[in-house]
Structure formats: structure tokens, C-alpha cells
């Protein structure tokens, strides 16, 4: 189920923030992206809860410099999906595959007022392009937001521990090979109040996003459509996604993005339905309810097109029972144009 924002979560203390900025400054000065690629994952175990952060050093391309800490198996699965499907994922969806903490280095004008006040309050100063640290929590369905106390602590740890392994890799002391699933895990133990860190070889268990087929149970609707439904030559494109329209329920709370079911006619580009709702767990129910109603009102199309992912398994049984061809394609141009227009508007 979709997580909810926690407006009362503890905020980082001044001491925590100082340590975070110090770790970020050391990371930036070392420039590990000069010898690491973003796929050269380094794993760091969170001492507080044991969750593994799958850490990606970004910047080899020379445009965006950051450390992304992808949280647990869900974070790693999203990272892996982006790595393998980045060319076919619409721009408006890439944000929502990221479940991560991000320490990035930005131009000053990219900072929020709160970022600048934080830096000034710590007595720090940065100059130049890509020199200003910015820290954010990325989570599917939400606007990137300011980090909590616990997130600040783990991000500080990750920056420090990743830099240690990055230097070891540069010196040929450890192996990192994403294609072979080879990496290093940094883990710690505490004894007599003293925490010590060690490394061990770690085999990545590459996850794959998999979706179970959904059985369509409304046999009465199927029989009615077969008996009275009009057959058309239309080709429909169907998608569920987050709309690029962040909603902030109250000042100081993290904005969220509404989920939506969208169906468009391929040839004309006309959007036949766009229905917003809250929880992505409702994707199957919303899709099957709306598409069944659309078939009843507009007729049964000859084909439905979907992108790779969960929509195929949602519609597979329904399309089979209504004798509609289901086709998986890389892009849904009619829907992408529609959503791009919303993005430009909002």
C-alpha cells in the first residue's frame, strides 16, 4: 500500500546537518565519478535497521553529480528497471521508479530557500557550478522532499562508506561488476559503545519487477459485450501513471502526485477517459472498471496497446474473454503527448 507522509518525523539536528555537509564536501572533493560508473553499485547496511542501501555514484557523464542511495529491495528493483528500460520509460514516470536518498551537487539557483538558509545557518559557503549540496528523499508517488533525522544519519554514513570503497576500487583492492552481480557490502558492529566498519564481498541478487495476471470475474459483462457489443476498428492505448500535478494538502507537508487511468485513441490522439485516484494498488480495479464501461459505451476495439509492465497482466484475461488483441509496445504516443501537455501546464 502507498506510504503516507509523516509530517511529525524528527528533523535533523544542527550537529547531524554539519556532519552531513562535511561528508558531502569530502565526497565532492574526491570526485569518485571520475573512476566509477552509476552501475558500479556499492552496498551499505544501515546500522539502525539493517536495510541495505544500494549506492550509485553519478557524474561520469559530466552533467549530474550525485550519490543515490536506493533503499532495500524495492529501491534496488526500481534502480535495476531504470537501468534496463531507461530509453522507453516516459520522462514523467522516471521519478516514480526511484525509492532513494539523494545527495546531489547543484548550481545555487537550483536550491530551495530552505537549503540556502540551512547552509547559511551552518556558516558554510560554496562557489561555482555543481558545488552546492542538496539532500532529498525520493519516493514513488511523492515530490522529492527534505530528509528526516534518520535519513540524514544514514545518508551521512553512506557518503562516508561509499567513498572508502570507491578509493579501494581505484587502487584495485576490490571488484565491482554489476553485470556479474559483484560488489562490496559495508557493514558495522558496535561493541562497548564503539562502532567499527568492515567490508565483505557481496553478490547482488538482481531483482525483476514481476506482475501477476489479474482474472476478470464479471462474466455477466463479458457475455453482454459478446452478445450486444459493437465491434470497431479502433486501436486504444491504455496506461496507469502518476499525473505531473503535485498536490500539497498543507503547508510544510510533502506534495504527492495523483494516480490516473488514461485511455486514448491511437489514430486521433483523443483521450477518451482520464480518471484520477490515490493508491496504485487500485490500478487493476480502476482499469478493469473503466475499460469495461468504455467497451459498453463506445464499442469493442480491435486492439489495445500497453507499455511493458503491469498493464499487460491486468488486461490479459479481460482481452482474451472479449476477443480483443492485446499488444505490448515501447511507447504510447497519444498518452505521452497528453501527459506532456499537463506537465507544461502545471
How do residues 309-338 score in pLDDT, each as one tens digit? 899 999 999 999 999 999 999 999 999 999
Tell me the average pLDDT of the chain: 93
Whether 213 is covered by a domain: the verdict is: no
Q: What is the pLDDT of residue 229?
A: 83
For residue 199, what is the enclosing H or E element?
strand 194-203
Residue 186 and residue 224 in one domain: no
190 and 251 co-located in one domain: no
The answer to whether residue 1 is domain-embedded is no
CATH of the domain at 233: 3.30.420.10
Q: How far is the first Cα of the chain from the last one, in angstroms, to the nearest whole number?
A: 27
- Domain stop point among 178, 203, 228: 203
Grid cell at residue 79 = 534502480
Please check whether residue 7 lies inside any domain of the structure. Answer: no
Please check whether residues 234 and 167 belong to one and the same domain. Answer: no
Residue 8 lies in a domain: no
In this predicted model, what pLDDT tens digit does every residue of 141-199 receive, in sequence order? 999 999 999 999 999 999 999 999 999 999 999 999 998 999 999 999 988 889 999 99
pLDDT at position 236 is: 98
Q: What is the mean pLDDT of residues 297-309?
A: 95
From 203, 236, 258, give the residue that closes a domain: 203
Please check whether residues 190 and 227 belong to one and the same domain.
no
How does residue 86 score in pLDDT terms, banded at 50, 70 and 90?
A: confident
Flag whether 199 is in a domain. yes
The total number of structural domains that make up the chain: 2
Question: Given a cut of 80, is residue 11 above it in pLDDT?
Answer: yes
Residue-number span of the structural domain to which 182 is assigned? 14-203
Q: Please indicate, yes or no, whether residues 339 and 224 belong to a single structural domain of this protein.
A: yes
Assess contact for 272 and 264: CB atoms under 8 A: yes
Pair 249, 190 in one domain = no
Position 6 in a domain: no
| Cell 584495485 -> residue | 172
Residue 3 has pLDDT above 50, yes or no: no
Asked if residue 211 is part of any domain, the answer here is no
As a whole number of Å, the CA-based R_g of the chain is: 23
Q: Which three cell numbers stand for residue 211?
A: 506482475
Amino acid at each position: 500500500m502507498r506510504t503516507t507522509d509523516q509530517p511529525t518525523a524528527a528533523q535533523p539536528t544542527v550537529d547531524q546537518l554539519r556532519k552531513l555537509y562535511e561528508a558531502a564536501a569530502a565526497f565532492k572533493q574526491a570526485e569518485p565519478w571520475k573512476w566509477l560508473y552509476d552501475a558500479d553499485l556499492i552496498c551499505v547496511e544501515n546500522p539502525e535497521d539493517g536495510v541495505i542501501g544500494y549506492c550509485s555514484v553519478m557524474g561520469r557523464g559530466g552533467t549530474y553529480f550525485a550519490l543515490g542511495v536506493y533503499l532495500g529491495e524495492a529501491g534496488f528493483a526500481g534502480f535495476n528497471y531504470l537501468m534496463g528500460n531507461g530509453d522507453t520509460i516516459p520522462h514523467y514516470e522516471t521519478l516514480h521508479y526511484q525509492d532513494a536518498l539523494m545527495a546531489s551537487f547543484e548550481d545555487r539557483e537550483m536550491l530551495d530557500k530552505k537549503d540556502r538558509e540551512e547552509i547559511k545557518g551552518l556558516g558554510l559557503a560554496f562557489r561555482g557550478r555543481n558545488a552546492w549540496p542538496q539532500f532529498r528523499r525520493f519516493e514513488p508517488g511523492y515530490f522529492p522532499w527534505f530528509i528526516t533525522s534518520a535519513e540524514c544519519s544514514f545518508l551521512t554514513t553512506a557518503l562516508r562508506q561509499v567513498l572508502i570503497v570507491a578509493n579501494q576500487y581505484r587502487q584495485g583492492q576490490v571488484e565491482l561488476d554489476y553485470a556479474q552481480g559483484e560488489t562490496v557490502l559495508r557493514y558495522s558492529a558496535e561493541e562497548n559503545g564503539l562502532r567499527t566498519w568492515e567490508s565483505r564481498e557481496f553478490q547482488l541478487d538482481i531483482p525483476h519487477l514481476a506482475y501477476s495476471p489479474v482474472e476478470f470475474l464479471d462474466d455477466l459483462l463479458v457475455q453482454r459485450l459478446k452478445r450486444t457489443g459493437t465491434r470497431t476498428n479502433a486501436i486504444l492505448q491504455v496506461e496507469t501513471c502518476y499525473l505531473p500535478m503535485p498536490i500539497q494538502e498543507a503547508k510544510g507537508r510533502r506534495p504527492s502526485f495523483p494516480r490516473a487511468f488514461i485511455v486514448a485513441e491511437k489514430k486521433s490522439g483523443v483521450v477518451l477517459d482520464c480518471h484520477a485516484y490515490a493508491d496504485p494498488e487500485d490500478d487493476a480495479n480502476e482499469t478493469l472498471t473503466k475499460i469495461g464501461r468504455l467497451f459498453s459505451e463506445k464499442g469493442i476495439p480491435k486492439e489495445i496497446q500497453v507499455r511493458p509492465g503491469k498493464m499487460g497482466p491486468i488486461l490479459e484475461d479481460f482481452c482474451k474473454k472479449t476477443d480483443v488483441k492485446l499488444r505490448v509496445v515501447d511507447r504510447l504516443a497519444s498518452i505521452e503527448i497528453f501527459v506532456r501537455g499537463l506537465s507544461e501546464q502545471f
